[in-house]
Every structure is written in C-alpha cells, then in structure tokens.
Amino acid sequence: MMYNFRNFTNVANFVFGQGSFNQLGAILKQRRKPTSAFFIFFVDDVFKGEALAQKIPLQGQDTIVWISAQEEPKTSTVDLITQQIHDDFNTLPTGVIGIGGGTLMDYAKAISLTLTNPGSSTQYQGLDLIKNKGVWCACIPTLSGTGAEVSMTAVLSGPEKKLGIKCDYTVPDQIILDPELTKGVPPHQRFYTGMDCYIHAVEALTGYCSNALGDAYGEKSLALCRDVFLNHENSYAPEVNEKLMIASYLGGLSLTYAQVGVCHALSYGLSHVLKYPHGIANCICLNQLEDYYGDAVSTFHQMVEQHQIPIPQHITKALPEEKLVALAKVAYDLDHMWLHALGKDWKAKMTLEKLVDLYARL
C-alpha cells in the first residue's frame, strides 16, 4: 500500500472573474523586481490587432510571440522558439505567458520547460522525463474546454508521436480565468472545444483508473457541460461563458486522476496523421463510438442537433489501407489511454485490426 499515490502539484495561484485579464499587469509587476526581469507572451495570432492584444501589459524587453493555432502544437516549433529565445536574450525570461486555447497554453507550458532542459522537446514526451523546473508560467485561456490551464500535460506532436510532456513541473504557476475572453469565439470552435471538455468528463468517468476525487470533478464538469450545451439558447451569455470555463477547469482536474480513453486515442491518430485539430477530431470520433460510450454519444448527438454544428463524416472513406494502418498504429501506442478505457487486459479487447475497422467507420 505504500507510495501508491502521486503527490500532485496544484496551479499555485488562480484568479477567476469577468474582466480579470485586466489584472495581469499587476500580477506580473510583483515579479518584475529585478530590473532585468522580462516576460515572453505566446499569443494566438487571431488576436493580432484586436483589443485583447492592446491590453497585454508589455514593458521593457517583454516580447510577444504570435503563434497560429491552426495546427496543433509541435515539438519542432517548441524547439525553434526555445532556440530563438536563447539567441535573442542574454538571460532566461522571468516567465512565459500563454494566451489562447489549448495550443497556446501547451506551447507556454512546454517552452517554460525546454528553456531550462537542454535538447529537443521530443526527448521529454512522456511521464516524468523532465529534469529541471521550468521558468515561471502563466496560462490564460481564451477558449474553454481543453483543461490545459490546469492539467499536468503539454501535448505535442513530434515527428514520431503525439504525446504529452507530463510531470509536476508542467502545471502552470498562475492562471487567470476570465470568461469575458471567450466572448468572440466562433460558434463551431466553441462547440468543438467545449466537446473536448465533455469528452474528458465522459472518458474520465468511464474507465478503470478513476478514483473518487477525479469522479467528483468529472461529474461536476459533465453536469456543467450538459447544462451549457443543452439548456442555453444564448451560448454567449456571461453566465454561460463562466460555466463553460469552470467545466473546462474541473474537467482538467478530473484528468489528474483518470485518463482519457477510446475517443482521445482515436482522435490522436486523426490529428497526428491527418492534421485534424484536436476538438473536431474528438467530435468526429465520439460521433461513432456508441459501442463504448452509449448514452454519452446520444447526448452528444442531441447537442450537435441543437447547435447545428457540422461534424464531418466518411473522412476515411477514400483513404488507402496503409493510411488506416498508420492511424491505427498511432492510437494503439497510447497504452495509458487503453489501460484506463479497457483495463489491464486491453490487448485482448483492442487490436490493430479492430482499430483499422474503427477508423474506417469515421
């Protein structure tokens, strides 16, 4: 019974409230005591020229790195930006701040670590491979659902695999949860990313690695998601934005204890091989996973219907067999997800052939 439970690290500081983004300057000020202090902001490039960009409290050497979230976060981009920062500055930045959806927050979390851990980020994809604490890292979601603001994983696509850098040091030091920042998200993106949260809760609650604390978070996150996507005609009302942001946060916490499952494993393949963004890839997969997540899939269909969001179908119809096998291989390698979803004997229940069949349905 000894040493069985991980001693988890929490986000150290958190602000929640409509308009709380305005407090970022005051929060950074407390860390600017040495005159050499400076911060690097990783910001989704959709905000270029927008009001949000004007509100970023730049001082002195502070730098904004604009990053597109069209593609999922990549190890190559992490390595490039890390090198650029080392080249451009004599010292490490005082901190990094990710402003955007999961992609931007994962970049901030990953680069915080690669700045203090030498070599390519690819060598750190996995559990507890990071040696040194990173630079101070803040995450500010502008899109609700991924839970990246609170999770201990920075998910990256590398040349060989899509896998997170997961360790205690990956957890951000500071988060600002300002539901106002999500006001301008286009409906389809809001839906796809919101479904990431819904799927986190469904998968966390349907598996072998859960425990009572993870379940408590997952259940509340699920209840909030259902409320947001089934009971509110105006999805952009401030109280709905609040609920979805909290659902995302609690969903991220539920994953501290449980894992994602079948849907995420399949979606990693779609993202890695076919470059589908994570949120829509998840929706494409869940849409066909009645066998695994029955009622939750029916509810998903109801949400899709109600919000009239297109979910692509037959996307693998024209793919050659070897592409299906490539997809299946990416999914099959995600042991930790299968272990949670199907149990210790998962290899008796899930095979490469079965995965090829599942992908052929999408």
Q: List interacting residues with a copy of itself (CB under 8 A).
A: 1-17, 19-20, 22-23, 26-27, 174, 177, 211-213, 216, 219-220, 224, 239, 242-243, 246, 249-250, 257
C-beta closer to a copy of itself: residue 115 or 177: 177
Indicate the residue among 2 and 318 with the shorter CB distance to a copy of itself.
2
SS3 string, 224-287, reads: HHHHHHHHCCCCCCHHHHHHHHHHHHHHHHHHHHCCCCHHHHHHHHHHHHHCCCHHHHHHHHHC
Beta bridge partners of 152: none
Cα torsion at 214, 216, 217, 220 (round to 10°)? Answer: 150
Smallest separation, CB 253 to a copy of itself (Å): 11
We find the least distance from the C-beta atom of residue 335 to a copy of itself, in angstroms, to be 22
Q: Which is nearer to a copy of itself, 5 or 348 (CB)?
A: 5
- Least Å distance, CB 251 to a copy of itself, is 11
User: For residue 307, what are the CA distances in angstroms to 226, 263, 301, 311, 329?
Assistant: 13, 21, 10, 11, 33
Would you state the structure tokens that stand for residue 143, as one six-digit string? 């899109």
SS3 152: coil
CB of 5 to a copy of itself, least distance (A): 4
Q: Which is nearer to a copy of itself, 54 or 90 (CB)?
A: 54
DSSP class of residue 328 equals: H
Contact 260, 289 (CB under 8 A): no
The nearest distance, CB 252 to a copy of itself, in angstroms, is 13
Smallest gap, in angstroms, from Cβ of residue 21 to a copy of itself?
Answer: 10
Distance CA 311, CA 253 (A): 27
Residues 6 or more apart whose Cβ sits within 8 Å of residue 133: 116, 169
Nearer to a copy of itself, 141 or 158 (CB): 141
The residue among 163 and 222 lying less far from a copy of itself, judged by its C-beta, is 222
